[in-house]
Amino acid sequence: MKLIACPVCHTQYDVSLVDASEFACRCGETLENRPLSAVDATVARCGACGAQVGADAEGCDYCGSEIVRELDKLSLICPECFARNCDDSRFCVACGVGFSPETPPMAGKEVPCPACETRMPPSSVGGIGLNECPGCHGLWVAGDQFDALVKRAARAREDRGVTADAPRVTGANPARQKLQYRRCPECDQFMLRVNYRRSSGVILDECGGHGTWLDADELEQVAGFILSGRATSPMLEPERDKLNAQAAAAMARARASAISDRSAGGFGTPSGGGFGSGGSLLRMLFDLLT
C-alpha cells in the first residue's frame, strides 16, 4: 500500500494503482502523487491497536500483537510523519495516526447507462477509467482505453488459472441475437454493433468518437476468447478497415437522413422507407448489407 495525505484536510489516499502525477483531493487541494521518503523513527506504539509500547517491547501488552522492527518488513510509510510501518498496520508506530485510506476521486463524469438509463458514476480498474452501471452492471469504457482494460481482464483471468474455451453468445451465432441498438452516453447517437475481432461472437457497442459499451458478462467473454488462443481469420483481416469505414459512413448517412426528415416535419411513411425518423435504421442496415 502506498499512502499520501492531504496537507489541508489530512484525508489519506491509497495511490498504489494511480498513474496520474497529481489529482484533486475532495477538499479541492491538488495533491502530487510522488514516492514518500521514509525516516527512521522510534517505535512507540503498537501498529495493530495504537497503544503505547516500551522501547524494547517485543509484543503489545494491550492486544498481544507482535512489535515488528526489522526494516525489510516495514514497507508502509506514514503519510504524516514518514515513519516506516508494516503494510497491514492500522496505526503509525511513531506518531500514532490511524491509517484510513480512501480511493482517490476519479476523473471523468457521471453518464447515463445505454442499457437501463441508470446514472453511472466514474470509477476505475487498475488506473483505467470507466463507468459501471449499478443497475445492470454493464461497463462504459471511454476513449481508447478498451484494449488496456481487455488486457488487464485477460491477465486476471489467466492468473486465476482460467484458460478454457472462448465463451460464445447464445446459439453461437451473433446474427440470431436480438437486434438492439444502444445510444452513446456521451453524444446520444446510435452506436455501431461490432463482433469483437470479427469471429468471437461477442457483440460490442462502439462509438468511434467516445468509447465502448459492454454488457455485464461481455468483458469476461472477450477475455476468454483471447485466452483460448483463437484469432481473427486471416481472410477477414484485409476487410476489417473497409467494413468499419462502410459502417461509419452508413451511420453518418442515416443520421443525416433522420435530421433531414425531422426538419421536413415528418416521421416517415411506408413509401418513405420504414419506421421512425425516415426509416433511418432500416436504411443503415440496408447500406451495411449491400
Has residue 241 got a pLDDT over 50? yes
- What pLDDT does residue 122 have? 81
φ, ψ (nearest 5 deg) of residue 214: -125, 130
| pLDDT value at 248 more than 80 | no
18-46 average pLDDT score: 87
Q: Confidence class of residue 7 from pLDDT cuts 50, 70 and 90?
A: very high
Q: 180-185: which pairs have CB atoms within 8 A and are 24 or more residues apart?
A: 181/205, 181/281, 182/114, 182/115, 182/213, 183/114, 184/114, 184/209, 184/210, 184/211, 184/213, 185/111, 185/112, 185/113, 185/114, 185/120, 185/131, 185/140, 185/210, 185/213
The average pLDDT across 250-277 equals 53
Tell me what pLDDT residue 130 has: 85
Percent share of the chain, pLDDT over 90: 33
Residue 207, amino acid:
C
More reliable by pLDDT, 220 or 247: 220
At residue 264, the pLDDT reads 58
The model's pLDDT over 93-131, given as tens digits with 9 standing for 90+, comes to 999 999 999 877 666 678 899 999 899 888 777 667 788
pLDDT band with cut points at 50, 70 and 90 for residue 25 = confident
Residue 238 pLDDT > 50: no
Strands in 69-178 per DSSP E: 76-77, 84-85, 111-112, 119-120, 122-125, 128-132, 139-142
Q: What is the mean pLDDT of the chain?
A: 77
Mean pLDDT of 22-41: 87
pLDDT value at position 20?
A: 78
What pLDDT score was predicted for residue 155?
76
pLDDT band, residue 260 (cuts 50/70/90): low
Per-residue pLDDT tens digits for 193-226:
988 888 788 889 999 889 999 998 888 888 777 7
User: Once rounded to an integer, what is the mean pLDDT over residues 140-169?
Assistant: 71
Assess whether pLDDT exceeds 70 at residue 242. no
* Residue 259 binned pLDDT confidence (cut-offs 50, 70, 90): low
Confidence (pLDDT) at 113: 94
